[in-house]
Chains A and B, each alone.
Chain A
Amino acid sequence: MELINSIILVSAILLVLSIVTSVIALRIGAPLLLFFLAIGVVAGPDGLAVVHFESVEAAYLIGSIALAIILFESGLDTPILSYRRAAAPALTLATVGVLITAGLVGIAAQFLFDLSRLEALLLGAVVASTDAAAVFLLLRVGGVTIRGRARSILEIESGTNDPVAIFLTLSLSGAIAAGSTAPGWSLLIDLLRQAGIGMALGAVGGGVIALALNRLRLDPGLLPIAALGLALLTFAATTDAGGSGFLAVYVAGLIVGNLPLRGRLGLRRFLSGLTWLSQIVMFVMLGVLATPSSFGPVLGPAIALSLFLILVARPLAVSLCLIPFRIGVAETTFIAWVGLRGAVSILLAIVPNLMALPQGSLFFAVAFIIVTVSLLVQGWMIRPMARWLRLIVPRRLGPVDRIELDLPGNADQELVAYSILEGSPVARGQRLPRWARPALVIRGGRVIPVHAARPWTVGDHVYLFAAPTRIPLLDRLYAGSRPLSEDDRDFFGDLAFHPGVTLGTLAELYGLPLTVENANRTLADLFDAEFQHAGEIGDRLRLGTVELIIRDMENGRIVKVGLSLQPDRKTSARLPLFEQPLAHLSRFAVATTRRWPWKRRAGKNRG
């Protein structure tokens, strides 16, 4: 009995400690997950030795459940719009990218360690996937918004590459255990089969979860639990059927998150808490499992391998994978940099141990060191890097004071509450469109009839019903106003145009180059054609000496186009030296596969 209580005591202390540290870590911008890992190490055998946890089976079990939850949540939080704009490049990274990374790291590992070819490749596979938890956390924490396409690619990639790395690791371990020495073609076929089954059953699971949540008359407190149960069921059933369970839960989450859902906010809050818990449990547990005192012999080569992964393997894999997709140099560099490794790699490093492979402990030590280096170097540098590459979207609105509330029994309307802020368009007398009128106003603690509430006073609380898609528009009306900063001009251009203005008009006004076929195209047409109807705020197109920028969008339509008179070269070309040759190569590939008519013309003018 005493033992059980002391287990609870130590676990609770570790949990509380992790949460307290998270506050500090977020303040100083340090990679949070590293703190969790460190807490585990300190509590473990090499530190204070208060926790004795050596069962790799239990660790793998707990880690798998935690990872399934994290992936379900990450799917749930990914808007399908991200897929529309980033599916192809992200999925290429998640599949081909993982294979290239694993291959390159495998080759390097063979030189650095005393491993057979297949074992070296296994080491590559273990550290081949980026960590969803680490990437999601670092991209979202701190109120920094990374430009949409780079963010979408990274989020989708990190959510979908784990299954690939997990599969590779399991298959390679199995092959080594069976005494095989070289990878065979059956591996690839097996991969496709697992992915296919995973996707199909994940889709079914997602549909069932959404149906259950919308149809079952459950206690509201049980809804998220039902979703969790069904998600884990999807995971296990898919694995049982020979598919990738991790892919299945991710797909299920993606489907549930993008269907109209009763109690959506409740589910998301529950899952976001649970994801935090999963991350803490996973990292602390893996920290406890590690014995850094035994890492000595592999420390040097492992750090060398980490740097190889960060500086060579990942950038090379990313650049190669993104060549066909016309991704800008700054974005490519950023994506290459945000290849954070995390708990998944350490978790996968347990697999060789589980299978009792001869070099089992080496994998764990090397993976642990690589993850630590990656979190330290890449994690700490994400924000400076994003700023340097100019990928941070400046905040468009002033502060928003908004609360969202779930409505019982209704999936397509939400109740939102705003406090009216000084200087907001509403407070300045902006006419409210029909869909943005409050249902209820509270002023000075008293409910006021809406028709008697005008003019709005600062400090009023207004409650209104709206479709979730309208909320960004409401923010515009109710948000406090904020003057445009210098950076905004760089980012959104100096002048603004309506999207219906034709290129001909613009060219005539400013003496810009133009081809006959472009004269009657509108700015909106131009962006739609150039970005395949998936343009987003901040996207830029060169037109002679100026640049056109999507300034504003509503419901996926361009509503305002900016014009930058002197486009800053920094936004289009800033890259570390080692990527330059590849960047040129990709630019060349782009230039040969796709030609811009007005660019051709501009070239002629110069000649």
Chain B
Amino acid sequence: MMDLITPRSIIANLRVGTKKQALQELAKRASELTGQHERAVFDVLLERERLGTTGVGHGIAIPHGKLPNLDRVYGIFARLERPVEFDAIDEQPVDLMFLLLAPDSAGADHLKALARVSRLLRDTSMCEKLRGSDNADAIYALLTQTEASHAA
């Protein structure tokens, strides 16, 4: 997980009202981290949502997409202050989001990262802890430390 996120990739208290706003905010943070155009990131995410929702249920969404000029796979985690309607699989509003951006050349790494994030956020006690903390460092510690203990 550490190769996907840094403490700067965590948004601990995102205040948005709609799915679109949430994606915009994530795109903005992604553009700061990767140096890509915010608009380009947003378009990629929107394009992906058009194929089918990335709201995987239980209030979790994993928006993702591919960008041409990235050097690696980037992750951004956001904890929403209030859940937003997301057209999720289970039609429940979303309050935890994990954005993944992969370079065009990522190949199987994109899928691997997706699977790792998906598995991590399936852990209900993990999600409870994430929902309960509004501090970016604490969230970063949670996300990375469990990964390490999972690997051990």
Tell yes or no: A501 within 8 A of B by CB.
yes
Tell yes or no: B4 within 8 A of A by CB.
no
A-chain residues with CB within 8 Å of residue B65 when the two chains form the complex: 509
CA distance A46 to B52 in the complex (A): 66
Distance from B13 Cβ to chain A, minimum over Cβ atoms (Å): 24
B-chain residues with CB within 8 Å of residue A510 when the two chains form the complex: 110-111, 114
A-chain residues with CB within 8 Å of residue B118 when the two chains form the complex: 494, 565-566
6 residue pairs from A and B, CB less than 8 Å apart? A481-B90, A483-B58, A483-B90, A496-B52, A511-B109, A545-B108
Tell yes or no: B148 within 8 A of A by CB.
no
CA distance A506 to B110 in the complex (A): 12
Contact of A496 (CB < 8 Å), options: B53, B66, B108, B122: B53
Chain A binding site: helix, strand, loop or mixed by DSSP? mixed
CA distance A483 to B111 in the complex (A): 26
Q: For chain B, residues 84 to 131, give those with C-beta under 8 angstroms from any C-beta of chain A.
A: 89-92, 106-111, 114-115, 118-119, 122
Tell me how many residue pairs across A and B have CB atoms closer than 8 Å: 66
Q: Which residues of A contact B (CB under 8 A)?
A: 425, 481, 483-484, 486, 488-489, 492, 494-498, 501, 505-506, 508-512, 545-546, 560-561, 565-566
Tell yes or no: B151 within 8 A of A by CB.
no
Contact of B51 (CB < 8 Å), options: A425, A505, A512: A505
Q: With contacts A484-B90, A486-B122, A489-B122 known, is A566 near B56, CB below 8 A?
A: no
Tell yes or no: B9 within 8 A of A by CB.
no
CA distance A275 to B57 in the complex (A): 42
Distance from A105 Cβ to chain B, minimum over Cβ atoms (Å): 47
Chain B binding site: helix, strand, loop or mixed by DSSP? mixed
The number of chain B residues touching the other chain, given as a range, is: 20 to 34
B-chain residues with CB within 8 Å of residue A565 when the two chains form the complex: 111, 114-115, 118
Q: Is the CB of A484 within 8 A of B108?
A: no
CA distance A512 to B56 in the complex (A): 21
Tell yes or no: B54 within 8 A of A by CB.
yes
Contact of B54 (CB < 8 Å), options: A481, A486, A495, A505: A495
Distance from B28 Cβ to chain A, minimum over Cβ atoms (Å): 23
Q: Is the CB of B58 within 8 A of A498?
A: no
Q: Is the CB of A425 within 8 A of B115?
A: no
Q: Is the CB of B107 within 8 A of A501?
A: no
Mark interface residues in B6-19 (1 if CB within 8 Å of A CB, else 0): 00000000000000
Contact of A483 (CB < 8 Å), options: B57, B62, B108: B57
Tell yes or no: B72 within 8 A of A by CB.
no
CA distance A561 to B53 in the complex (A): 11
CA distance A494 to B113 in the complex (A): 13
Q: Is the CB of A560 within 8 A of B52?
A: yes
A-chain residues with CB within 8 Å of residue B62 when the two chains form the complex: 494-495
Q: Is the CB of B91 within 8 A of A481?
A: yes
Contact of B52 (CB < 8 Å), options: A489, A498, A511: A498
